[in-house]
Amino acid sequence: MSMFEVCAKCGHVGRNNYVEKVFAVVAKDAKTAAKITRQLPRVKHHQKDAIRYVNEIDADRYWEIRNRNEEDPYFKCGSIQDQRRMCADITILPEPKAVEYGRGSYEESSRKRFYDGTKAIRNPKKYYRSAAYDERHSA
C-alpha cells in the first residue's frame, strides 16, 4: 500500500463556491486514492473536476497532512455559525462554470421561451399540468 496526497474541491462554503483542501490517503494506486477521497465528507462528490491532483508521498508528509487537517477549523465546524466564526481566513474560490454562465454549475437549462398563443409561459411543465391548460385544450 502506498500513501498519496490528494487535493480536492470541498463544499459548504456558499453556493457556486469551493475550497481546495489536501487529504492524506493510503491506497494501492492513485486512481483508488482519488476514489476514496471523493467519498470523504465535505468533498464535492458529483463534480468531474472535484479531484485536483494526486501525488505519491512518504510517511513524514502523510503525517504532516493528517496533523494539519486535525487542527484545521474547517473540518471541526459543525454548523454554518461555527464556520463563520472559526474560518474567517479560508480562501473561497468561485466555480468557473458558475461565473461563466452566471448560474449554478449544475443548472444548464434551455433558454427557449414557451408560448400559449401570445401569452409567454414562465414554467411550462407546471402550466401544462394545470387545470387551465386542460380546460383550454380539451375541446
Q: What is the pLDDT of residue 130?
A: 76
Same domain, 64 and 114: no
Domain enclosing residue 135, as ranges = 109-139
Same domain, 114 and 78: no
- 2 close to 26: Cβ distance less than 8 angstroms: yes
Q: What is the pLDDT of residue 129?
A: 77
Domain count, the chain: 2
pLDDT band per the 50, 70, 90 thresholds, residue 133: low
* Percent with pLDDT over 90 in the chain: 46
Determine whether 138 is exposed, middle or buried from the number of CB atoms within 10 Å of its CB (0-12, 13-18, 19+).
exposed
Same domain, 75 and 138: no
Same domain, 50 and 95: yes
Same domain, 56 and 116: no
Same domain, 62 and 127: no
pLDDT over threshold 60, residue 35: yes
pLDDT tens, position by position, 91-118 = 888 988 655 544 554 445 567 788 888 8
Task: Report CA Rg, the chain.
Answer: 22
